[in-house]
Amino acid sequence: MAFLTLNRTKLQENFTYLNETFEENNISWGVVSKLLCGNRSFLKELIDLGVNEVHDSRISNLAKVKEISSDIQTVYIKPVSKRNIPKMVKYADVSLNSELNTIRWISAEAKSQSKNHKIIIMVETGDLREGVIGDHIVDFYEQIFELPNIEIIGLGTNLNCLNGVMPSSDKLIQLSLYKQIIELKFNKRIPWVSAGTSVTIPMIKTHQLPKGINHFRIGETLYFGVDLFEEKIIPGMHGDVFELNAEIIEMQEKSLLPTGTLAANPQGEIVEIDERLYGKTSFRAILDIGLLDIDPKYLIAKDNEFEILGASSDMLILNLGKNPKGYKVGDLIKFNLKYMGALGIMNSSYVDKVIIA
């Protein structure tokens, strides 16, 4: 059976690197846990790092965080549906919001639960996901800042999450200005400008981050050590906290080309034939993982001497050429993962999850 490992030491070192970076720049931050898909063992590893704040887009995952440590501040990081507001208020201390009616409903629910609920108002800065239009932010704030059982603790934004719009000093300065305008007009303090995600981290290193940005929400860089501006591993961090191990379940020398009448495969693709390969063979390995668990494009082979040919729902096919390393049935093939690949694996109940030191 295929299995995924989480390397405790490498996760700790990535966390320490980020924590020191943020402390040096007087930035608060929380860890986005949605990649872990509510896996209790992995969540405990995360919390044991010394995390004070956990963010997630699934209420059930935040409930598990609270079960592990009730002192952790939990943050719900997508607009909540009306039907889920009671559960969200119960398990999330903070939520990101951009709809007036939703915040009113949250206020009423928080009052009924005898709780105070914290709000970060999301502002649209160009990527066209969630967010209040900037020109409307003062009117928006005016309609919600006196709602009972609601505390507005920040303005926030998301970039590079839908259309790939990258953060810039201009965009983030504008967000900081909105905060200053609101504080002056209403004589209210807003502690956070939460504009930092993994894609914003390189702006700290290049000294391009405006001073007003003081809160980050970090997932991908913690788990994959990646600089999303340059698509490379940040020096001092690890890109292989997660590792997928898949077992070879068949190893045969076969033709490089299929034979017979070709039609679209189950994925709707028609295989292209390279006539130069007629009569040639190679060793092909079948692994015990498939499209049900992960799209092959999110796999990063640790051995560069083979080619991923494709996958069916439950099997991954490799071309090993002449098999110079002598792989055989029962051997494990190791892969690093891209973020979306790890997310698929974590969400699969068919792949075991294991913690290693």
Backbone φ and ψ for 348, nearest 5 degrees, come out as: -95, 125
Give the containing element (helix H, strand E) for 46: helix 40-48
**For position 94, what pLDDT does the model report?**
98
Q: What is the pLDDT of residues 253-280, one digit of tens each?
A: 998 878 777 676 767 777 777 777 777 8
Distance CA 279, CA 67 (A): 61
Percent of the chain with pLDDT over 90: 90
Distance from C-alpha of 334 to C-alpha of 331, rounded to nearest angstrom: 10
Mean pLDDT score, 322-344: 96
At 72, the pLDDT band (50, 70, 90 cuts) reads very high
**Is the pLDDT confidence value at 82 over 80?**
yes
Question: Per-residue pLDDT tens for 188-197?
Answer: 999 999 998 9
- Per residue in 148-172, pLDDT (tens digit) is 999 999 999 999 999 999 999 999 9
Query: Is residue 339 pLDDT above 90, yes or no?
Result: yes
Q: Tokens 């299995």 sit at which residue?
A: 3
Whole-number percent of the chain with pLDDT over 70: 99
186/168 Cα distance (integer angstroms) = 28
Please state, in angstroms and rounded to a whole number, the distance separating the CA atoms of residues 336 and 245. 9
Question: Rounded to an integer, what distance in angstroms lies between the CA atom of residue 79 and that of residue 189?
Answer: 23
What would the DSSP string read from start to end of 273-340? P-GGGTT-EEEEEEES--TTT--GGGEEES-TT-EEEEE-SS-EEEE-TT-TT---TT-EEEEEE-HH
pLDDT (tens digit per residue) in 191-225:
999 998 999 999 999 999 999 999 999 999 999 99
On whether the CB atoms of residues 244 and 299 are closer than 8 A, the answer is yes
Catalytic residues: 34
Greatest CA separation found in the chain? Answer: 79
**Entry field: residues in the chain:** 357
Residue pair 270/262 in contact (Cβ under 8 Å)? The answer is yes
The pLDDT value recorded for residue 259 is 76
pLDDT value, residue 137 = 97
